[in-house]
Amino acid sequence: MADGDSTRSVRAGRPAPEQYTPELPGPTFAAHFHLSGEATGPYTYGRDANPTWTLLEDAISELEGGGTTTVFSSGMAAVSAAMLSLVASGDTVVMPDDCYQTTRALRDRLESYGVRVRMAPTADDAQLALVEGARLVWLETPSNPGLDVCDIARIAAAAHDAGALVAVDNTLATPFGQRVLDLGADLAVASDTKSLTGHGDLLLGHVTARDPELAAAVRTWRKTVGAIPGPMEAWLAHRSLATLGLRLDRQTANALALATALRNDPLVTGLRYPGLASDPAHAVASRQMRRFGCVVSFTLPSRDVADRFLRALRLVGEATSFGSVHSTAERRARWGGDDVPPGFIRFSCGIEDADDLVADVLMALDAVR
């Protein structure tokens, strides 16, 4: 019988029991290692590999359902590696035009290298029309911050028929929300700054691939550009994985409770949460997701109303990012770059008691009516 998610997250990547040793060895701080003779072996230089990274990478690979994982110093380091290590001048990359804005900003860099970029929305599998002749198809589902969803298996099958690779930014869902490699993706990519580590206290990212050549290309890119994580960050991330299943279950339940409470509020428009049966993405999300994530988005009537709402919240911090155990929210348009209204709110549900969280949000809404 297969182990459940929390059982796997507690045990993932941990070494076999050994007398008088900790369950999870402490971080290895090393710029170099003792190395006589030929420069071979698992640990030769601190930019190439580190035992603390190895344990974390093995753990994430288990959660992703196999393959080889490479961890990076941030989510964007992982995104950049997945894109830039696999394309060359003359290639074509297909990207969603509503994905994370810093990912979209890579378009200029790709085009400066002679790579052609085609863009289409996430919703309605619009990227399907662009896969012919592409080298890489990039998906982000659910999209950030709009929470649109595309059919990974459908697009991956079409992309592979056209000779293209498929990478999926799985940051919002995590491997416990959807297993993108099982759905046909060649690369699973994530900012582990967010839900995977889930405490809002470190920056990290990863790329997982089952094809050894793709995994080697990504790992060589990390070595070449030096986008390596610190050993302490890697150790903290591995420690945090143990509670991943628990955190996601509570966050998902809280997000559904909040979305349900907001459905009929006259101040709220454009409510999105893939876990709601009424959400436009629910049918596709239900086929490929096991948990619908912690993020709820909605729009308030104006920038002023949104700012006053955020200030009125008692339990929710006003901050960017998402996936922390602490609930956070922000008026997303303050950053620019996203096609959202001035009053658009991206709300990340933490692990507070659902009744308390919903009451706090409703109280803040009442304060700005």
What percent of the chain has a predicted confidence (pLDDT) above 90? 98
Place of tokens 């753990």: 59
Q: Helices marked H in 26-74 — which ranges? A: 51-64
| Amino acid identity at 270 | G
Residue-level pLDDT at 130 = 98
Residue-level pLDDT at 39 = 85
Cis upstream peptide for 17 (omega within 30°): no
To 10 degrees, what angle do helices 51-64 and 231-241 make?
A: 30
More confident residue, 1 or 138: 138
Beta-carbon contacts of residue 199 (< 8 Å; ≥ 6 apart): 236, 240, 324, 325
Name the token pair of 279. Answer: 């959400």
pTM equals: 0.96
Q: What is the mean pLDDT of the chain?
A: 97
Name the token pair of 92. Answer: 């074509």
Please say whether the beta carbons of 261 and 358 come within 8 A: yes
Q: Taking the domains of the chain in order of start, what are their residue ranges? A: 5-241, 244-367
Please say whether the beta carbons of 193 and 203 come within 8 A: yes
* Cα 312 to Cα 360: distance, rounded to the nearest angstrom: 9
* Cα 360 to Cα 316: distance, rounded to the nearest angstrom: 8
Residue range 244-367 in CATH 3.40.50.620: no
Please say whether the beta carbons of 262 and 271 come within 8 A: yes
pLDDT single digits (tens) 170-185: 999 999 999 999 999 9
What would the CATH number be for the domain defined by 5-241?
3.40.640.10
pLDDT single digits (tens) 103-149: 999 999 999 999 999 999 999 999 999 999 999 999 999 999 999 99
Please say whether the beta carbons of 93 and 237 come within 8 A: no
Cβ neighbour number for residue 219 with a 10 Å cutoff: 20
Residue-level pLDDT at 40 = 86
Residue-level pLDDT at 195 = 98
What percent of the chain has a predicted confidence (pLDDT) above 70? 100
* Cα 141 to Cα 180: distance, rounded to the nearest angstrom: 10
What one-character-per-residue DSSP string does 199-253 give? SSS---EEEEESSHHHHHHHHHHHHHHT-PPPHHHHHHHHHHHTTHHHHHHHHHH
* Cα 55 to Cα 62: distance, rounded to the nearest angstrom: 11
| Amino acid identity at 137 | V
Q: Does the pLDDT value for residue 2 go beyond 90? A: no
Residue-level pLDDT at 162 = 98
Q: What Å distances lie between residue 301 and 116, 273, 314, 331, 345, CA to CA?
A: 39, 19, 21, 12, 11
Beta-carbon contacts of residue 79 (< 8 Å; ≥ 6 apart): 102, 103, 106, 169, 189, 191, 205
Residue 349 DSSP SS3: coil
pLDDT single digits (tens) 64-97: 999 999 999 999 999 999 999 999 999 999 999 9
pLDDT single digits (tens) 27-45: 999 999 999 998 888 999 9
Please say whether the beta carbons of 74 and 191 come within 8 A: yes
Q: H/E element holding 262?
A: helix 244-262
Q: Does the pLDDT value for residue 1 go beyond 80? A: no
Q: In what order do the strands lie in the sheet with 328-331?
A: 269-272, 295-299, 344-348, 328-331, 317-318
**Which residues are marked as active site?**
47, 100, 169, 194
Sign of CA dihedral 189, 194, 195, 199: positive
Q: Phi-psi region for residue 276, left (φ > 0), alpha (ψ -120 to 50) or beta? A: beta
pLDDT bracket for residue 284 (50, 70, 90) = very high
The secondary structure of residue 45, as a DSSP letter, is B
